[in-house]
Amino acid sequence: KAGVTQTPRYLIKTRGQQVTLSCSPISGHRSVSWYQQTPGQGLQFLFEYFSETQRNKGNFPGRFSGRQFSNSRSEMNVSTLELGDSALYLCASSPGGGGLSYEQYFGPGTRLTVT
């Protein structure tokens, strides 16, 4: 099976702009989660989508949003970018039937730089 894919891999944006990141889960996986990874804060959970609905969420401001499509692909949007949003954004998928899974399969990430 193909792994989790994320596009783009690298992105440079200017403060105040918005950005959309894309994630395609492993075939058959219905749960998609998003994480932000920074050297200072580590890996932080953003939200999880299952069957096109946000099922779980972390403690991020409303500027961070997401959605999931009927084919389980997911997008994450960050509006009004701030310098502190510079990070590696990781997407992870899991089969999803039993709630938020301990076993997540991660994609390679999108490296976002905000200038």
Where on the chain is the footprint of another protein (CB under 8 A)? 4, 33, 35, 42-45, 48, 55-59, 90, 92, 99-100, 102-109
Question: Judged by CB, which is closer to another protein: 39, or 70?
Answer: 39
Q: Which is nearer to another protein, 14 or 59 (CB)?
A: 59
DSSP codes joined into one string, 16-78: T--EEEEEEPPTT--EEEEEEEETTTEEEEEEEEETTEEEEE-S--TTEEEEE-TTS-EEEEE
The nearer residue to another protein, 17 or 52, going by C-beta atoms, is 52
Report the nearest approach of another protein to the CB of residue 47 (Å). Answer: 9
Q: Region of 98 please: left (phi>0), alpha (psi -120 to 50) or beta.
A: alpha
CB of 37 to another protein, least distance (A): 9
